[in-house]
Structures are given as C-alpha cells and as structure tokens.
Amino acid sequence: MVSHPGSLAQQEARFGWKTVAPSLLLIALLIVYPVAYNLYLSFFEVKLSGQNEFVGFNNYIDLLADRAFYDSLTVTVIYVVGSTLGTTLLGLGVASLMNHKFPLRGLVRGLVLLPYIAPLISEVFAWQFIFDPVNGIYNHMTVEVLGISDERVNLIGTPGNALLVVIIFDIWKNFPFAYLMILSRLQSINNDLYEAATLDGANRWQRFWNITLPELRFVVGAIVMLRFIWNINKFDEVFLLAPNVKTLPIYTYFTAFTGTIEQGLAAAIAVVQFLLLIGLIFLYIRRVLKW
C-alpha cells in the first residue's frame, strides 16, 4: 500500500511538533510565563499582605515622572555602550595579535581566557582591594610611588568614578569571549586573499581594512548584539563591585526590595526595559546587520 503524499507530509509535521514540544514547553515555563506575570504585576500596587490593588497605568505614569528612572537610564546607556565597544575592540585587538605566530603562543592564548573563566566573586574582591582608598594598590601607586595625585580617592565609593571602574572591569572580564569568536573567524579566512593583496601592493593596514574587517562583519555584529543584550540586563557584576552604579537592573532591584518596596513599579521598570531592548535589537538587526 502506497502512502498518499499529503498524509506523509502531515505525519512529518506531527513528528516535528512532537520533537519541539518539550523545548516549547520549557521556553513557556521559563520565559513566557515570567514575562507575562511581570507584565500583569505592573498594573497593580503589590502589597506584602497579598491583597494587590489594581492601579492601571499609574505605575507607568509614576515611572515616566520619576527623575531617578531617567538617571538610571542614562547610566545604563553609558555602561552598555562603553563596555560593549570596549569588549569588542579589545577582543579584536588581542585576536589579531594571537593570530600571528610567536614563541609560546599556545600558552598565551590560554592565559588570555583567565578573566573569563575565573570565579566572579574572587575577581570582584580583587578589584575592590585594588581600589581600596586605604590599602589599595591603585592609591599607593598614584600617590606614593608615581606622585600623580596628592590624596587618596575612593573610586568605587563615588558613583561617577565607580561607573568608569565597572566599565573597565566588564571589558577586562568579558573581552575573551569576543577574542575567541573573532580568532576562530580569523583562522578561517583564506590566506590567498592576503597574498593577492600583498602582490597588488597593499600594506598591512589596507589588508586589514579591505579583507579582515569585511570578513569579520557578521561575527563582530553578533558579538556586539550579544554583549548589548547581556550588558543591558547585567546585574551580578555591577551589584557586587559597585552597587551605587544604578543601572536599570540595579534600580529595579532597589525599587522592588528596599525602602518602600514598590514591586508593581519595579515590574513596570522591567517591562519598559524589555520593550526598549526588543526595539533596539530589532533596529540593530535591520539597520546595522541588515539581516
């Protein structure tokens, strides 16, 4: 008996749905439900007694009139742009160096990964010690050894300076990710392209600009997008190192769990952050990556 083509296609479709059903269920439980529930809470005044009061769009109205929200948004933009660009550029520079042959290259390639694989909490403690105003290495070098400054400063304790420290820490911590992605792509570029360009008289910069960068376009684009997503949602690194740097996730945390404990307002902040993230990613994909 010969199966009808239509029935065979239906069987394959049913098999496909059965295959992806567990993944879809897991996504629904871990992503869709929390997002939907957070959206639901944003329309309520959440009370610890459990008797939530529906307030409609009042949380969003209060949020848009909140000066602290705009300050937090500004800090987030500075942090995300600075850390994303710094991570990508440093990863590109290190990958370009590691792509050349030199003694002990394999060992150096492994050592470059240490900031990315080391435990976060130990790295944060080390950086806090470095910038400690009393016993830190930074103040000892700048004041007593080099004489750059006349007095010790508490960089992490000052929000403006702490933001710079957090950005530098994020770049140092996460550039190996960009380095690995870019290095793997560099090693797959056909060397004949460079040889032909050299025969045509192209110098090293011209070869990098006209061959290397176009070949790296989609890899670098993907790195920027991924780092943008991760950094705009970053909580642990910022909070552990300098909780006074109030990016949107930190601001949401303090709104939800400290002071007056306004969890409905915090939910509204999370919704606005989610919508901004989706909109910026869509714009980036359409206008920059042109996918």
CB 265 within 8 A of CB 63: yes
280/140 same-domain check: yes
Please say whether the beta carbons of 275 and 232 come within 8 A.
no
Which phi and psi angles does 200 have, rounded to 5°?
-80, 0
Same domain, 180 and 82: yes
Single pTM value for the model: 0.85
State whether 10 and 73 are in the same domain. no
**Residue 111, pLDDT above cutoff 80:** yes
Residues in Cβ contact with 238 at an 8 Å cutoff, skipping those fewer than 6 apart: 79, 166, 245, 247, 249, 250
Residue 26 belongs to some domain of the structure: yes
Residue 226, pLDDT above cutoff 50: yes
Structure token digits, residue 281: 């990613």
Q: Are residues 114 and 232 in the same domain?
A: yes
Q: Determine the average pLDDT of the residues in 117-128.
A: 93
Residue 125 CB coordination number (10 Å): 13
pLDDT of residue 1: 47
Contact criterion met (CB below 8 Å) for 213 and 77 = no
Number of domains in the chain: 2
Distance CA 16, CA 8 (A): 12
75/198 same-domain check: yes
Domain that holds residue 26: 1-41
Q: What is the pLDDT of residue 5?
A: 55
Place of tokens 């944003």: 42
193, pLDDT greater than 90:
no
Q: Which amino acid belongs to residue 156? A: I
